[in-house]
Amino acid sequence: MAGCSKSLGIDIGSVSVKLALFEDDRLVRTVYRRFHGRPFETLHDILKEQFSDLLGVPVNLAFTGIGGKTAQSVLGGKFFGEIASIAAGNFYAAPQVRTVVEMGGEDSKLIILDSERQLVKDFAMNAQCAAGTGSFLDQQAGRLKISIEDEFGQLALRSKSPPRIAGRCFRETQRSADCADEREDKNETPN
Residue 133's pLDDT is what? Answer: 74
pLDDT digits (tens, 9 = 90+) for 81-103: 999 999 999 999 999 999 999 98
pLDDT surpassing 50 at residue 149 = yes
Gap between the Cα atoms of 164 and 144, Å rounded: 17
Specify the range with the lowest mean pLDDT, choosing from 10-19, 27-36, 108-117, 157-166. 157-166
Domain boundaries, the chain: 1-80, 134-182
Helices (H), ranges, 26-133: 39-50, 68-75, 82-93
Angstrom distance (rounded) from CA 152 to CA 157: 9
- List CB contacts of 41: < 8 A, sequence separation 6 or more: 35
Please report the pLDDT score of residue 82 as a whole number.
94
Helix (H, G, I), strand (E, B) or coil at 62: strand
Average pLDDT for 135-162: 86
Is residue 16 over pLDDT 70? yes
Q: Check if the beta carbon of residue 64 is closer than 8 Å to that of residue 14.
A: no
User: CATH topology for 1-80?
Assistant: Nucleotidyltransferase; domain 5 (3.30.420)
